[in-house]
Structures are given as structure tokens and as C-alpha cells.
């Protein structure tokens, strides 16, 4: 490189994920051996000794505002889930909800801004992939994801595929006795009228989305009245129902987002209950418009 050669800037977008440090540790030596300086801002890029700067950011707005060409931007989607261990394990749900909302918004932003430049962890773990000329990357050997993080990772695939399964692990259950087993959750209904299931606050793209929810009711719980809500936190569509018998039931609900915002599914018990169990199997989410 001569003094007159322009400095080249490449952008690597990694939305918040549990194994971000593993990604950085894997990328750094590969980038440096390929002649890229790994930095975290445009200011650092301007000071880099190398003629090629690889700028790490969680936010697709940064390369867009810098006027980066799409071929100089790559979006990496981890399969480890968005939650750091401390947040994942915390009993207080508010920080987890905020983390899911933030991570999903940034993942959506990257997939929307650069849809042809999205690389998944699964693809990179199968072998090196050339994301920029002269730079091949492989996925990190990260620790196994928690059940919740694994389910969130699957849920986030909605951005690339326009559909995904939202497992029961990513929702909150308001009951004194709760059992998780094989991707389903069984909980005791006993108690006052209340919200039973709520979450997960994943930011949805604009459009019309259908939620197909599977629930199971025991004989005692089938006699009560319920309401299901699907949509945004403040504006949503609702459906009241009375199972009437024990068994498995499927609810289909639709809601149209006019702009990206956090999603919520809620199941409410409309009257007090003395016994019985409800089983929640999760929800299939699909774009229909």
C-alpha cells in the first residue's frame, strides 16, 4: 500500500448475543492474518495502520449512516441466543425482556438493511466462508446455549424465513407450580383471575403475522373462561373462549404491525380456579401479509 491508497472500511454487524466474546476471539486472528485491522468505531478505523479496517458493531444504522456499500457489510447471526448468562438466570424478568427487545430490534435492523449479506452461525460452523475479498471466517466453538437462549435463537429466524417456532421457554408463566419438559410447560391454574402466559417481546417487522398457539387443558381447567391476546403490548387482537372439555386446542390469531415494535402473546384466566393444569406448547409465527 502507498501513501495515496485509500483506506478501505468493512463492517461486521453482530447483534447482541451470548457468545459475542467468542465471535470476537475467533474473528480477530483471522482478520489480522488477512491484513484487516479489527476495530470498533470509524474513529479507530481512521487510525488503523492497516489499509483495511474491519469495524465491529451491533447496529446496522452505523454502516448505513457512513454510506457503506452493501458488499462491504456483513451481518453475523449467532445461534447462541441473545441473553448473557446473568440476565438469562435472573429471576426478575424486566432486564430479560429489555434484552430480548433490544437484541431482536438490532437483528431485524441488520436483516432488513442488508438481506443479501446475512451469514448464520450454522453456515460458518460448517466451514470457512469468504465474507469479504480475502477474508474467510469460521464460527466459534461456543458453550452450549441454555434452553431459553436456544429457543430465542430459533424464534429470531423469523427475520430471514418469515416464519419461526416460538417455544414455551421464551414466555413467562405466572403460576406457583411450573414444570418444563420436552419443549412444553405445564402449570397449576389454582389462583385468582390473572395473566397466565406473557411475552416474549421480540420486535416484529411491519406486516400481518399469524400466531398459531397450542394449549392443553385438564378437565378442571377446561370449565373456565380465558382470553388470548396477540399483537403489540398496548394494541392487540383478543379472543375469549371456554374449552368446555379436556384435551388439546389450537388458537389462530392475526395482527398487523404498521411499523416494527415489540410483540406479546398473553393468555388470561378470567375467573378464579381451584385446581387443574394447563399445558402450553408454544406458538408458530408466520407472515401472511
Domain 162-287 in this protein, CATH class: mainly beta
Fold of 8-137: Rossmann fold (3.40.50)
pLDDT of 241-268, one tens digit each? 999 999 999 999 999 999 999 999 999 9
DSSP letter at 22? H
Residues in the chain: 289
Q: Report whether pLDDT(232) > 90.
A: yes
- Which grid cell sits at 257? 404491525
Q: Per the structure block, which three cell numbers stand in for 51?
A: 489499509
Domain ranges of the chain: 8-137, 162-287
Give the integer Cα–Cα distance in Å for 100 and 261: 12
What's the pLDDT tens digit per position in 29-64?
A: 999 999 999 988 666 666 665 689 999 999 999 999
Which phi and psi (to 5°) does residue 119 adopt? Answer: -120, 130
Q: What is the pTM of this model?
A: 0.91
The CA-atom distances, in angstroms, between 196 and each of 174, 193, 215 are: 5, 9, 12
Region 122-128: mean pLDDT is 87
Paired with 10 in beta bridges are 54
For residues 63 and 56, give the distance between their C-alpha atoms in angstroms, rounded to a whole number. Answer: 10
Is residue 64 within 8 Å of residue 11, measured between CB atoms?
no
Amino acid 42: pLDDT: 65
Centre a 10 Å sphere on the Cβ of residue 141 and count the other Cβ atoms it contains. Answer: 10
The model's pLDDT over 72-108, given as tens digits with 9 standing for 90+, comes to 999 999 999 999 999 999 989 999 999 999 999 999 9
Amino acid at each position: 500500500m502507498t501513501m495515496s491508497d485509500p483506506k478501505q472500511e468493512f463492517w461486521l454487524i453482530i447483534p447482541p448475543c451470548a457468545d459475542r466474546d467468542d465471535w470476537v476471539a475467533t474473528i480477530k486472528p483471522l482478520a489480522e492474518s488477512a491484513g484487516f485491522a479489527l476495530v470498533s468505531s470509524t474513529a479507530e478505523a481512521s487510525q488503523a495502520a492497516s489499509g483495511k479496517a474491519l469495524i465491529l458493531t451491533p447496529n446496522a444504522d452505523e454502516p448505513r449512516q457512513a454510506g457503506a456499500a452493501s458488499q462491504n457489510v456483513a451481518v453475523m447471526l449467532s445461534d447462541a441466543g441473545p441473553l448473557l448468562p446473568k440476565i438469562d438466570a435472573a429471576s426478575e424478568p424486566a432486564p430479560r425482556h429489555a434484552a430480548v427487545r433490544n437484541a431482536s430490534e438490532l437483528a431485524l435492523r441488520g436483516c432488513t438493511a442488508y438481506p443479501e449479506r446475512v451469514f448464520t452461525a450454522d453456515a460458518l460452523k460448517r466451514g470457512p466462508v469468504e465474507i469479504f475479498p480475502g477474508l474467510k471466517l469460521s464460527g466459534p466453538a461456543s458453550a452450549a446455549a441454555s434452553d431459553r437462549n436456544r429457543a430465542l435463537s430459533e424464534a429470531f429466524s423469523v427475520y430471514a424465513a418469515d416464519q419461526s417456532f416460538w417455544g414455551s421457554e421464551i414466555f413467562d408463566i405466572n403460576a406457583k407450580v411450573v414444570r418444563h419438559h420436552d419443549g412444553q410447560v405445564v402449570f397449576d391454574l389454582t389462583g385468582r383471575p390473572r395473566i397466565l402466559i406473557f411475552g416474549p417481546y421480540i420486535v416484529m417487522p411491519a406486516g400481518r403475522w399469524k400466531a398459531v398457539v397450542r394449549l392443553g387443558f385438564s378437565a378442571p381447567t377446561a370449565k373456565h373462561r380465558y382470553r388470548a391476546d396477540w399483537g403489540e403490548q398496548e394494541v392487540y387482537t383478543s379472543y375469549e373462549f371456554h374449552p368446555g372439555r379436556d384435551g388439546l386446542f389450537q388458537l389462530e390469531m392475526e395482527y398487523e404491525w404498521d411499523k416494527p415494535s415489540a410483540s406479546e402473546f398473553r393468555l388470561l384466566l378470567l375467573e378464579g380456579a381451584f385446581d387443574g393444569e394447563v399445558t402450553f406448547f408454544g406458538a408458530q409465527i408466520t407472515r401472511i401479509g
